[in-house]
């Protein structure tokens, strides 16, 4: 009996730690989406598809063009950042004053365009980088280096965004713009430029997430569906546009998935997470950290 | 310094200003008085570019303001303290002031301007890490004026600085306006509080129903019968 409990605790601890590691990447994804929503007041339904394009970028640079991983990653981050800016310039900017449903439909359209484009251009085969990182064994617990690396890189990415938003003039303007759009010209702020920069940063975060996810998952045209919906749920649970709420919600979800997977199959972890979300929507419809006004 | 010629302006099909002309000379403090809904706020917005005139000409030291993109007008030396202060409520006082120094010319002198504003409002220095929305109305007004001063303007536009403040605080705000004037800044102030504003300005215009109805020195207006009866209650 005693030995059974020991093993059980080890597995529990392993699942908790794996949940934290998963939470880091989910928090990174949620931050990108929240940034766009919080600042521009638009939801990029196609956010996970930008990640998918970035994962293909990594695949081609590393597998086809034989660039080392560390050289390919900055290129992909830049590529997806430009993609984010292009998405804003071509799709969002003309629809800024349109009803939200039109904006949703437009970015939803981009989702299908990107999926179809990937299917035509890259085929439906599952592809991977061919990089197999070792596993770290701590006593009886096993952690993949890919997850540890992803967690640390995601955390650094989020710290970078935090410093950018709090220390720079542009970052301060990005935080200010959501609080009062109309008076921004009085500060000498060109709102169009701020929107473009924010979109590039949001895209860059999707690019960073792509670099990290491609270490753990195969890429295929529909890979966005594996983490797109969960990213939206995290943002809604944390309160759309609320960075701290999204951060907390990412770890709550990751733990539910990880612990749910411990007691049953991994899929049950997702079922539990989505069920939890539905219940929370009844209890706190505006999100965990809803502002009381 | 600032010259408006025959300005018509409004919102959509609603016209709020009709053929408004006025001028402000360097070093002057000029008031625009008038009742609620006379178009005073519209006048301020049209100067700072938040709305564009339908007709007429606005010049700041010879530059055509109406042809300048709204976010560049602050670089001409015009700083607008909007009605109801319009601080960023969930940014700290320091971040609000930082926003005032956003434009490239002001960024270079950010530290210097911050010292200047903290000298003028020691209270803001104490509160610099507090969320702007949690301060009292008078403190928020200080912060809003401080934010405008961060851009190192030549002309300060003040839109109803006394609105919604307790009488004691109104006194303090007008004292402040005097001090700002003394520092050499040109001020255009829009107010419903006619009695107070006529004590701090050199000249004033009376704006009613979107048109200038009277103009003169502060003493002339304070002595005129129409203004005494309608606005000063004597």
Q: Where do we find the tokens 């007429």?
A: B56
Structure tokens at B208: 């009613």
Judge whether A152 lies within some domain: yes
CB pair distance less than 8 Å for B99 and A173: yes
In which domain, by residue range, is A126 found? 2-283
**CB of A212 within 8 A of CB of A103?**
no
Consecutive H or E run containing A178: none
Instruction: Work out the number of other CB atoms within 10 angstroms of the CB of residue B9.
Output: 25
Nearest neighbour of B82 by CB, restricted to A169, A186, A191? A186
Q: Does A175 touch chain B (CB under 8 A)?
A: yes
Q: A-chain residues within 8 Å CB-CB of B157? A: none
Q: B-chain residues within 8 Å CB-CB of A173? A: 99, 102
Judge whether A35 lies within some domain: yes
Instruction: Work out the number of other CB atoms within 10 angstroms of the CB of residue A151.
Output: 22
pLDDT score, position A102: 93
Q: Does A94 touch chain B (CB under 8 A)?
A: no
Query: pLDDT tier at A7 (50, 70, 90 boundaries)?
Result: low
Q: What's the ipTM?
A: 0.90
How many residues appear in chain A?
A: 293
CB pair distance less than 8 Å for B102 and A187: yes
Q: A-chain residues within 8 Å CB-CB of B89? A: 179
pLDDT score, position A203: 97
Instruction: Work out the number of other CB atoms within 10 angstroms of the CB of residue B217.
Output: 13
Task: Find the chain B residues whose C-beta atoms sit closer than 8 A to any C-beta of A.
Answer: 48-50, 69-75, 79-80, 82, 86, 88-91, 95, 98-103, 106-107, 147, 151
Query: pLDDT tier at B226 (50, 70, 90 boundaries)?
Result: confident
**Cα A289 to Cα B126: distance, rounded to the nearest angstrom:** 29
**Cα A11 to Cα A6: distance, rounded to the nearest angstrom:** 9
**Cα A64 to Cα A70: distance, rounded to the nearest angstrom:** 15
Which pLDDT tens digit goes with each residue over A102-140? 999 999 999 999 999 999 999 999 998 888 888 888 877
Burial A253-275 (b: 16+ CB within 10 A, else e): bbbbbbbbbbeeeeeebbebbbe
CB pair distance less than 8 Å for B102 and A190: no
Sign of the torsion formed by the C-alpha atoms of A63, A65, A68 and A71: negative
Q: Does A4 touch chain B (CB under 8 A)?
A: no
- Rounded to a whole number of angstroms, the CA Rg of chain B reads 17
Nearest neighbour of A169 by CB, restricted to B90, B102, B147? B102
Residue range A146-166: average pLDDT? 95
How far off is chain B from A249, nearest CA to CA, in Å?
A: 22
For residue B209, the 8-state DSSP code is T
Structure tokens at A204: 């860059």
Judge whether A167 lies within some domain: yes
Q: What's the farthest any 2 CA atoms get from each other in chain A?
A: 71
B195 φ/ψ angles, rounded to the nearest 5 degrees: -55, -50
**Cα A192 to Cα B130: distance, rounded to the nearest angstrom:** 29
How far off is chain B from A173, nearest CA to CA, in Å?
A: 7
Which pLDDT tens digit goes with each residue over B39-94? 999 999 999 999 999 999 999 999 999 999 999 999 999 999 999 999 999 999 99
Q: Does A172 touch chain B (CB under 8 A)?
A: yes
CATH number, domain containing residue A152: 1.10.3470
Chain A and chain B share a number of CB contacts under 8 A equal to: 63
Calculate the CA A96 to chain-centre distance.
23
Nearest neighbour of A169 by CB, restricted to B72, B89, B98? B98
pLDDT at B231 over 80: no
**CB of A269 within 8 A of CB of A257?**
yes
pLDDT at B176 over 90: no
Query: Chain B residue with minimal CA distance to A167?
Result: B95
Judge whether A288 lies within some domain: no
Judge whether A137 lies within some domain: yes
pLDDT score, position A65: 95
CB pair distance less than 8 Å for A172 and B100: no
CB pair distance less than 8 Å for A187 and B89: no
Helices (H), chain B: 40-48, 70-73, 93-100, 104-107, 110-120, 122-126, 137-149, 167-182, 194-200, 218-223, 225-227
Mutation for B interface: A188, A190, A289, most B CBs within 10 A: A188
Lowest mean pLDDT among A49-53, A160-164, B211-215: B211-215
**Cα A200 to Cα B209: distance, rounded to the nearest angstrom:** 47
Mean pLDDT for all residues in chain A: 91
Q: How many domains does chain A have?
A: 1
Judge whether A291 lies within some domain: no
Closest alpha carbon to B188 in B19, B63, B26, B72 = B26
Q: Does A179 touch chain B (CB under 8 A)?
A: yes
DSSP string, A230-281: HHHHHHHHH-TT-HHHHHHHHHHHHHHHHHHHHHS-HHHHHHHHHHHHHHHH
Closest alpha carbon to A40 in A231, A201, A198 = A198
**CB of B217 within 8 A of CB of B202?**
yes
Judged on CB neighbours under 10 Å (0-12, 13-18, 19+), B167 is exposed
Structure tokens at B184: 């050499």
């Amino acid at each position: 009996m005693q030995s059974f409990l020991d093993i059980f605790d080890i597995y529990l601890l392993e699942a908790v730690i794996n949940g934290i590691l998963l939470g880091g990447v989910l928090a990174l994804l949620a931050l990108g989406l929240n940034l766009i929503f919080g600042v521009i007041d638009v939801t990029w339904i196609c956010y996970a598809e930008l990640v998918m394009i970035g994962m293909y970028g990594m695949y081609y640079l590393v597998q086809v063009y034989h660039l080392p991983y560390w050289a390919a990653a900055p290129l992909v981050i830049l590529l997806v950042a430009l993609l984010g800016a292009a998405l804003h310039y071509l799709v969002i900017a003309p629809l800024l004053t349109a009803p939200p449903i039109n904006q949703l439909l437009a970015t939803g359209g981009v989702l299908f365009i990107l999926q179809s484009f990937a299917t035509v251009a890259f085929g439906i085969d599952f592809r991977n980088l061919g990089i197999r990182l070792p596993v770290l064994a701590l006593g009886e617990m096993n952690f993949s280096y890919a997850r540890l690396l992803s967690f640390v890189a995601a955390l650094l990415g989020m710290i970078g965004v935090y410093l950018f938003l709090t220390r720079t003039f542009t970052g301060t303007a990005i935080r200010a713009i959501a609080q009062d759009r109309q008076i921004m010209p009085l500060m000498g702020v060109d709102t169009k430029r701020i929107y473009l920069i924010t979109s590039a940063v949001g895209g860059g975060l999707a690019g960073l997430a792509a670099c990290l996810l491609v270490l753990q998952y195969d890429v295929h045209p529909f890979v966005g569906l594996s983490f797109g919906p969960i990213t939206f749920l995290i943002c809604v649970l944390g309160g759309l546009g609320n960075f701290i709420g999204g951060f907390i919600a990412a770890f709550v979800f990751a733990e539910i998935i990880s612990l749910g997977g411990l007691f049953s199959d991994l899929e049950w972890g997702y079922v539990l997470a989505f069920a939890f979300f539905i219940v929370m929507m009844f209890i706190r419809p505006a999100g965990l950290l809803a502002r009381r006004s | 310094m600032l010259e408006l010629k025959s300005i018509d302006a409004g919102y959509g099909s609603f016209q709020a200003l009709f053929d408004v002309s006025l001028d402000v000379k360097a070093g002057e403090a000029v008031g625009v008085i008038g009742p609620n809904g006379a178009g005073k706020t519209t006048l301020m917005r049209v100067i700072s570019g938040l709305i564009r005139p339908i007709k007429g000409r606005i010049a700041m030291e010879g530059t055509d303001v109406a042809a300048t993109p709204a976010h560049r007008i602050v670089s001409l030396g015009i700083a607008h303290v909007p009605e109801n202060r319009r601080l960023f409520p969930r940014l700290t006082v320091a971040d609000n002031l930082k926003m005032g120094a956003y434009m490239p010319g002001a960024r270079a002198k950010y530290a210097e301007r911050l010292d200047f504003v903290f000298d003028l409002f020691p209270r803001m220095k104490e509160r610099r890490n507090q969320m702007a929305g949690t301060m009292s109305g008078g403190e928020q007004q200080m912060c809003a004026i401080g934010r405008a001063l961060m851009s190192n303007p030549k002309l300060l536009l003040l839109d109803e600085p006394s609105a919604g403040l307790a009488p004691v605080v109104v006194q303090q705000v007008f004292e402040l306006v005097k001090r700002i004037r003394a520092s050499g800044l040109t001020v255009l102030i829009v107010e419903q509080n006619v009695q107070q504003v006529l004590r701090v300005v050199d000249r004033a215009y009376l704006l009613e129903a979107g048109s200038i109805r009277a103009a003169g020195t502060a003493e002339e207006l304070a002595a005129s019968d129409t203004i005494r009866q309608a606005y000063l209650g004597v």
